Each structure stands twice: as structure tokens, then as C-alpha cells.
């Protein structure tokens, strides 16, 4: 298995809080991995370090053999790692099409400039094709602020993947999405990932999603990896059931929802 991502002793502390404790992890090409863990287990901290949003306190990150530890987010994206966020990062007052044109503009020019027109026929065609791939082309002219949460999530992920990155990190892709829409959303998101041969790590609290879409699961607990292995094995691990899945059931009960 060729490694796409490799972290060694990756650590992060916030004062006395150890959010990541010497995380060793290897992600192979084309792997689709579910990342689970109760609130505060360190999942987002890990993603933030890999994508340059947080500088590690220690350890290293290698991407396709290159040391990317401490690179800022824009350089990490250029290297080939893209991400989506728990809360979609979109221009709410602009239309879906304009958001996508901005993502394409950033990809082609590296930054937006008043000298480079956002709307060109060729770029608009390209943007509409991406929207079509993510089944949201009918919303092209709608303002983001008016969209249902599932469409916002798809747009955010579509924008994160315009460069067809070899590694995609998704932070809770189905959070806030209606239960009856979550599988359709994941089917739409995973189709281009599989077609392009990218590796994908997605953080999820919904075990039905984890079971259905990941071949391997990594369980975080208290800033460290509690278990890492094939999905069925990890989800039935007694410690994972006790510290992760038990906590999720408790969380769902408190939120008054059933999964
Ligand atoms: P959730 O499922 O709620 O998103 P998580 O597993 O992603 O949780 P993290 O957000 O990575 O967990 O948090 C890990 C620990 O680090 C928590 O104790 C959290 O309070 C702490 N932490 C995270 N970011 C910061 C910060 N910027 N400053 C201080 N403490 C932080």
C-alpha cells in the first residue's frame, strides 16, 4: 500500500489540554476512512493540523513523501489536500454559481483579482458542470442563505474538491442534514472520490454513515487513537463500544434524536 499521508507522533496541546497525543497514522492511496470519537476526542484538531489550520506542538506530517508539517492552509491545498468544514464556509449572500466561480478562480489564479473576470463563458460552463456532478445545478442562481442545509453541505464539498485533490478530509459531512437525505448526500459526495481514486478521511458521529461508507475506521479518544482497523472490527471493539459508541448514544439521547 502506497502511503498518501503519514503522521508521526503528531501532537497538540492547548495549555494543560492535550488535544492530540503522539498520533501515528498512515493513510494509503484510495482508502476511505471513517474517523469517530466523542465530543472533544481530538478529531477536528487532527484535521486542522493536517490541513495547516493549527500548528502542531510536535511530530511530523508527510504527504506523498513530502514533509508538510507547519505549512499554511493555502500551501497544503496546493500540495493536494483539501477539506470541508463542520460549518460550511460559503459566501452566504452570493449565489451558488458565484460561489463555485470563486472556487474555480482561486484554483486557476491562486487568488482573486479585480483584473481577472469571475464570469467567463468557459468558466461558467465549468462551474455548472461541477454543480451538475454534485446534483445541485438547479440551485445555481439561488442565494446560499436561502438553501437547505444539505445543499449547502454539497456546495461546500463541491468547492473543496474542484482541484480533484488526492486526499480529501471531510469534517462531519452529514451534520445538520435531514435523516432521510443523508445517504443520498453521501452517495453524491463519494461518487467523484471513488471515480478519481482519491483517499478520503471523514469525521462522523452517525454510525450508519460510518458503517456504510468506510472500509476502515479510526476511533479517537482523549487525544489519542483508541482503535484503528477494518470497519466491522473497530465498531465492535469493546473499548470503542464503551468510550465512543456509548458516548454517541448518550449524545443522541440528549439531543432527543434517534439514529
Ligand atoms: P467534536 O466532535 O465536538 O468536534 P473533536 O473530537 O473534534 O470534538 P477537538 O475539537 O479536536 O475535538 O477538541 C479536542 C480538545 O481540544 C477538546 O478538549 C477541546 O476543548 C480542545 N481544544 C480544541 N481547540 C482548542 C482551542 N483552540 N483552544 C483550546 N482548547 C481547544
pLDDT digit string (tens) for 106-158? 776 655 555 556 677 778 899 999 999 999 999 999 999 999 888 999 999 99
**Per-residue confidence (pLDDT) for residue 249, from 0 to 100:** 62
168 phi and psi angles, rounded to 5 deg: -120, 130
On whether both 173 and 257 belong to a single domain, the answer is yes
Does 206 score more than 80 pLDDT?
Answer: yes
Does 185 score more than 70 pLDDT?
Answer: yes
| 133 vs 246, more confident | 133
On whether both 72 and 96 belong to a single domain, the answer is no
**Per-residue confidence (pLDDT) for residue 198, from 0 to 100:** 93
Does 59 score more than 70 pLDDT?
Answer: yes
**Per-residue confidence (pLDDT) for residue 109, from 0 to 100:** 62
On whether both 55 and 20 belong to a single domain, the answer is yes
Our answer on whether the CB atom of 43 is closer than 6 Å to any ligand 1 atom is yes
On whether both 66 and 176 belong to a single domain, the answer is yes
Cα–Cα distance, 119 to 208 (Å, whole number): 41
Q: What is the tens place of the pLDDT at every residue in 26-46?
A: 999 999 999 999 989 999 999
**Per-residue confidence (pLDDT) for residue 116, from 0 to 100:** 59
User: Separation of 143 CA from ligand 1 center, angstroms?
Assistant: 32
Which residues share a beta bridge with 168? 82, 200
217's CB contacts (< 8 A; 6+ apart) are 33, 34, 35, 36, 210, 227, 228, 229, 230, 231, 234, 235
**Per-residue confidence (pLDDT) for residue 57, from 0 to 100:** 96
On whether both 215 and 171 belong to a single domain, the answer is yes
On whether both 190 and 233 belong to a single domain, the answer is yes
Calculate what percentage of the chain has a pLDDT beyond 90: 68
Our answer on whether the CB atom of 185 is closer than 6 Å to any ligand 1 atom is no
Average of per-residue pLDDT values in the chain: 89
Residue 217: give the domain boundaries: 1-80+166-259
- Structural domains of the chain, count: 2
Question: What CATH number does the domain containing 57 carry?
Answer: 3.40.50.300
User: Separation of 196 CA from ligand 1 center, angstroms?
Assistant: 32
Can you say whether the dihedral through the CA atoms of 69, 75, 81, 82 is positive or negative?
Answer: positive
* Residue nearest to ligand 1 atom 20, measured at CA: 40
DSSP designation for 219: E
Our answer on whether the CB atom of 87 is closer than 6 Å to any ligand 1 atom is no
Our answer on whether the CB atom of 48 is closer than 6 Å to any ligand 1 atom is no
Alpha carbons within 13 angstroms on the beta-carbon side of residue 50 total 33
Calculate what percentage of the chain has a pLDDT beyond 70: 90
Name the residue with cell 486557476: 108
On whether both 180 and 200 belong to a single domain, the answer is yes
**Per-residue confidence (pLDDT) for residue 258, from 0 to 100:** 43
Does 259 score more than 60 pLDDT?
Answer: no
User: What is the band of 176 on the pLDDT scale with cuts at 50, 70, 90?
Assistant: confident
Our answer on whether the CB atom of 217 is closer than 6 Å to any ligand 1 atom is no
On whether both 76 and 111 belong to a single domain, the answer is no
Q: Are 210 and 226 a contacting pair, CB within 8 Å?
A: no
On whether both 170 and 207 belong to a single domain, the answer is yes
Nearest ligand 1 atom to alpha carbon 42:
11
Name the residue with cell 492552509: 73
On whether both 107 and 38 belong to a single domain, the answer is no
Residue where a domain terminates, one of 145, 164, 183: 164
Residue where a domain terminates, one of 115, 134, 164: 164
On whether both 138 and 250 belong to a single domain, the answer is no
pTM for this prediction: 0.88
On whether both 171 and 258 belong to a single domain, the answer is yes
Residue where a domain terminates, one of 123, 149, 164: 164
Nearest ligand 1 atom to alpha carbon 37:
6
Amino acid at each position: 500500500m502506497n502511503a498518501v499521508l503519514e503522521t508521526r507522533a503528531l501532537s497538540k496541546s492547548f495549555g494543560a489540554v492535550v488535544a492530540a497525543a503522539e498520533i501515528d497514522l498512515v493513510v494509503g492511496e484510495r482508502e476511505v476512512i471513517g474517523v469517530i470519537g466523542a465530543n472533544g476526542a481530538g478529531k477536528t484538531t487532527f484535521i486542522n493540523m493536517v490541513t495547516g489550520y493549527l500548528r502542531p506542538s510536535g511530530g511530523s506530517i508527510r504527504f506523498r513523501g513530502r514533509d508538510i508539517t507547519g505549512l499554511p492552509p493555502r500551501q497544503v491545498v496546493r500540495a493536494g489536500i483539501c477539506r470541508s468544514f463542520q460549518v460550511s464556509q460559503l459566501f452566504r449572500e452570493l449565489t451558488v454559481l458565484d460561489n463555485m466561480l470563486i472556487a474555480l478562480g482561486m484554483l486557476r489564479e491562486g487568488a482573486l483579482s479585480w483584473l481577472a473576470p469571475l464570469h467567463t463563458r468557459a468558466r461558467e460552463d465549468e462551474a455548472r458542470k461541477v454543480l451538475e456532478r454534485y446534483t445541485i445545478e438547479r440551485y445555481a442562481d439561488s442565494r446560499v442563505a436561502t438553501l437547505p442545509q444539505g445543499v449547502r453541505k454539497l456546495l461546500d464539498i463541491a468547492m473543496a474538491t474542484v482541484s480533484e485533490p488526492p486526499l480529501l478530509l471531510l469534517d462531519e459531512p452529514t451534520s445538520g442534514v435531514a435523516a432521510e437525505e443523508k445517504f443520498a448526500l453521501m452517495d453524491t459526495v463519494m461518487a467523484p472520490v471513488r471515480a478519481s481514486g482519491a483517499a478520503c478521511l471523514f469525521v462522523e458521529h452517525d454510525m450508519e454513515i460510518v458503517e456504510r461508507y468506510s472500509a476502515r475506521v479510526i476511533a479517537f479518544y482523549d487525544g489519542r487513537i483508541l482503535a484503528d482497523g477494518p470497519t466491522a472490527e473497530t465498531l465492535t471493539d469493546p473499548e470503542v463500544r464503551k468510550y465512543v459508541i456509548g458516548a454517541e448514544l448518550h449524545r443522541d439521547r440528549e439531543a432527543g434524536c434517534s439514529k
